[in-house]
Amino acid sequence: MTYFVIHSDPVGYYSQGAKPNWKRMKTYHAWKKAVQLTAKSQGVRLPLRASKDRPVHITTRAFFRNGVHPDPENVHKGIVDAMFYDPRKERRGSDKHTGGFFQPPLYDSKHPRVEVWIEEVSAEHAQDRCLHEKAIRKGESWICPDCGQDVSLLVEVEA
């Protein structure tokens, strides 16, 4: 599993409509470039490739500066879009065999960011994948009783 953090205000996915918003599109493309540079600096080989036999699971957790922000789902989609691309720029990369999840919005006014986990899994494992939905607290950690994994990084701890 690979983990990295994009230290900036999260930006949501942008799809050009009939009347393009050039400012928003420019911001989105700059965000994608920042995601790619950060991922590469952490050893992620881009573009990512996923297949039926080797699906990729991506988890995102966005920390926003304040209550005015894009949907966490659109932030997740933008990160997936940045990671799967055609290097020849002929078409969009295929993220058809990609899954994952995003967490509800979190807030940190001084350090907005997006935390990203990437995991390549076998097709067999993907079918039996534990979603850690029943995680319980054990001391300082959160443990999933279904698979026994420590999922503390994936659980928001209430202060």
Task: Give ranges for CATH 3.30.1330.70 in the chain.
Answer: 2-128
Radius of gyration of the chain (CA): 17
Q: Please provide residue 132's backbone torsions phi and psi, each rounded to the nearest 5 degrees.
A: 55, 35
The pLDDT assigned to 49 comes to: 87
CA atoms of 137 and 52, how far apart (whole Å): 35
Quote the pTM value.
Answer: 0.73
Helix, strand, coil abundance in the chain, percent, nearest 5 = 25, 25, 50
For residue 19, what is the DSSP state? S
CATH architecture of the region 2-128: 2-Layer Sandwich (3.30)
From first to last of the 159 residues of the chain, give the pLDDT tens digit: 899 999 999 999 988 878 888 898 999 999 999 999 999 998 888 889 888 888 899 999 999 999 999 999 999 999 999 998 877 665 555 788 888 999 999 999 999 999 999 998 765 554 455 555 566 667 767 776 666 667 666 555 443
